[in-house]
């Protein structure tokens, strides 16, 4: 009885996550069309460099939204690291931060890449048909 209830709750939360990802996906598509219209509009470029910063900011937010959708649909540590890396890259690229904040951001990105390279192994993680992530035992040679 308890196991059945846990399975039903897990399935319900998984479906809710998919629903949220659909909503975010629709928002990303709408904002992507808006970004294209803003980019094509010649009046946007009257602002000079500020227009480029706005376009870069909007584009990287859309990329973060797309990565967030992947994170909701595919439950792996690698997708979480990708979302965090995009968010940090946004802060570094379009944020107007101090040298100290930029240094900390670069170090954080380097740590994320180190985690991805040395702690996450592609053959360790497997996506099961029901959305669960399981750790496989390493092949014995």
Quick check: is 24 in a domain? yes
Spatial distance between the Cα atoms of 28 and 62, rounded to a whole number of angstroms:
6
Quick check: is 140 in a domain? no
Quick check: is 137 in a domain? no
Is the pLDDT assigned to residue 24 strictly greater than 60?
yes
Given a contact cutoff of 8 angstroms between Cβ atoms, the answer to whether 114 and 80 are in contact is no
Host domain of residue 14: 2-132
Quick check: is 69 in a domain? yes
pTM of the model: 0.70
Quick check: is 139 in a domain? no
Quick check: is 138 in a domain? no
**pLDDT given at position 124:** 52
Spatial distance between the Cα atoms of 23 and 68, rounded to a whole number of angstroms:
12
Confidence of residue 138 (pLDDT cuts 50, 70, 90): very low
What is the count of structural domains for the chain?
1
The sign of the CA dihedral 80, 111, 89, 103 is: positive
Quick check: is 40 in a domain? yes
């Amino acid at each position: 009885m308890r196991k059945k209830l846990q399975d039903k709750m897990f399935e319900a939360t998984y479906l809710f996550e998919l629903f949220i990802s659909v909503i975010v996906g629709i928002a990303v598509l709408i904002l992507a069309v808006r970004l294209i219209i803003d980019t094509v509009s010649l009046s946007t470029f009257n602002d000079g460099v500020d227009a480029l910063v706005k376009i870069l900011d909007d584009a990287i937010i859309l990329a973060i939204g797309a990565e967030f959708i992947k994170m909701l649909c595919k439950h792996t540590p690698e997708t979480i690291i990708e979302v965090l890396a995009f968010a940090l890259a946004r802060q570094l690229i379009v944020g107007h931060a101090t040298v100290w904040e930029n240094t900390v951001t670069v170090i954080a990105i380097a740590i994320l890449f180190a985690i991805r390279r040395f702690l996450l192994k592609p053959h360790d993680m497997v996506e099961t048909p029901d959305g669960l992530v399981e750790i496989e035992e390493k092949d014995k040679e």
